[in-house]
Amino acid sequence: MANMISILGSTGSIGRQTLDVVEQLGLKVAAMTAHSSVERVEEQARRFSPRLAVMTDEAAARDLAVRLADTPVRVLGGLSALEEAATVPEADTVVTAVVGMVGLRPTLAAIRAGKRIALANKETLVCGGELVMNEAERCGAEIVPVDSEHSAIFQCLQGCADRREIRRLILTCSGGPFFGMSREEVGKMTKADALKHPNWTMGPKITVDCATLMNKGLEVIEAMRLYRLPLEQVDVVIHRQSIVHSLVEYRDGAVLAQLGTPDMRLPIRYAMTYPNRAESPAEPLDLLHCPPLTFAAPDRETFTCLALAEDAAREGGTACAILNGANEEAVGLFLQDRIGFHDIARLVRRAREEVAVTAAPTLEDILEADQAARQSVLR
């Protein structure tokens, strides 16, 4: 069980909910980071008294330093300071809740420092999964997933002594706000439409990824890396109610599922308390009053981002970093109302066609592929 944490991305949805759990469990905070939300970080720092607060925006860091001058909190600025927050000696657990490729370097730094990783930054495994998992094995660092789907699989695998017992992992997917629509109908949807997730409250980038099904494609890649399984053993099923968070099918035909209300505090709490479980104030799932549970196949022709992600997973190397970097830039353009919904997949596909893939990449190869993909989208 965690005792003192560093939280990378304390002001986002996962970060704020993590701090709720930290308070409920009576844990301590060694460090917290954010990009530019100075007022919120000041409030959090006064509430949790970390030793270190980092703002990746340097102007925001200078502002925060003035605001916290009457406290013992040390303030640092810049992206490089994320690695210091990830490796503070007092922390035994690092929650990686930042969005995007920015999470890769500090996660590797935390692994090399022997920290337990409560992983909520999927890009870390999508872009550098083999590198990250090999480093974790070499350094003896434990990775506990926070995403609801991967937490569900992690829990369903607790009694699995041999990965050869697994027939397949089944990731559930809400289908997003456009489930059941034709490709023509989806093409008319706006940013406001895409940001209306049916079940979860999340940040704008991941919410758009849920609308395109890219989020599920990234989770397929993440599952492959986290559990070291080929694409053929990772499947996706649409489950509109978000009650069954994912399933594991074993070779003897048994299927184990993890169920719960759609509340991210539940997998966050498990990541904090693993291998134990702590009492939760959350309302438990009431099977007598929950809606009927339905399942359907994903529509890869309308939501082509899922197929693009699976193609990148199949190719390997830096293909997944290219996919992710292009998607981040394209979603950013969509959120600025500069492109349409289907343009996201179009630009990702173009980057995949234009940027060469490197097999068995180093960290530098991954970062270069990411940048090349972004430039392809922006040109």
Cβ proximity of 323 and 123 under 8 Å: no
pTM of the model: 0.93
Contacts of 132 (CB under 8 A, 6+ apart): 104, 107, 108, 111, 124, 125, 143, 225
Q: Report the C-alpha gap between 241 and 250 in whole angstroms.
A: 24
Q: Is the pLDDT of residue 282 over 90?
A: no
Cβ proximity of 97 and 17 under 8 Å: no
pLDDT tens digits for range 285-338: 999 999 999 999 999 999 999 999 999 999 999 999 999 999 999 999 999 999
pLDDT confidence of 123, banded at 50, 70, 90?
confident
Amino acid code (one letter) for 210: C
Q: Is the pLDDT of residue 201 over 90?
A: no
Answer with the residue of higher pLDDT: 232 or 206.
232
Q: Three-class SS of residue 110?
A: helix
Q: Three-class SS of residue 25?
A: helix
**Which pLDDT score, from 0 to 100, does residue 199 have?**
81
Instruction: State the average pLDDT for the chain.
Output: 95
The C-alpha torsion from 101 through 98 and 326 to 137, rounded to 10°, is 40
Cβ proximity of 225 and 132 under 8 Å: yes
Residue in 24, 23, 2 with CA at minimum distance from that of residue 117: 2
Q: Report the C-alpha gap between 130 and 316 in whole angstroms.
A: 10
**Which pLDDT score, from 0 to 100, does residue 161 have?**
84
pLDDT tens digits for range 223-261: 999 999 999 999 999 999 999 999 999 999 999 999 999
pLDDT confidence of 208, banded at 50, 70, 90?
very high
For 339, other C-beta atoms within 10 Å of its C-beta total 17
pLDDT confidence of 276, banded at 50, 70, 90?
very high
